[in-house]
Amino acid sequence: MRESPAAHVVLLTKVDKLSGNERQKSVSRTRKAAAAAGLELPIVLTSAEDGRGRKEIFDWIKIHLGL
């Protein structure tokens, strides 16, 4: 593996348990917390129950590994 700075992504799990409004609030709170720490990170909503976010996670990994 080539040497480069580590890439980061925020995974919000169990989003199948939240309503659409609750998901939006969760993403907003997460963005605000990251911004307060001086970070701008991608956020992926995930659910093992319905598979949500799986493709996005694998695509993100492939991009950052240069595949």
Q: What is the CA radius of gyration of the chain?
A: 14
In this structure, is residue 5 part of a structural domain?
no
In this structure, is residue 25 part of a structural domain?
yes
In this structure, is residue 3 part of a structural domain?
no
Count up the domains in the chain and report the number: 1
Is the pLDDT higher at 28 or at 4? 28
Range of the domain at 20: 10-65
Concatenate the DSSP letters of all residues of 9-54 into one string.
-EEE--GGGS-HHHHHHHHHHHHHHHHHTT----EEE--TTT-TTH
pLDDT digits over 27-66, tens only?
Answer: 999 999 999 999 999 999 999 999 999 999 999 999 988 8
**pLDDT score for 6:** 74
DSSP 2: -
pLDDT digits over 5-29, tens only?
Answer: 778 999 999 999 999 999 999 999 9
In this structure, is residue 16 part of a structural domain?
yes
In this structure, is residue 4 part of a structural domain?
no
Alpha-carbon gap, residue 61 to 8, rounded angstroms? 10
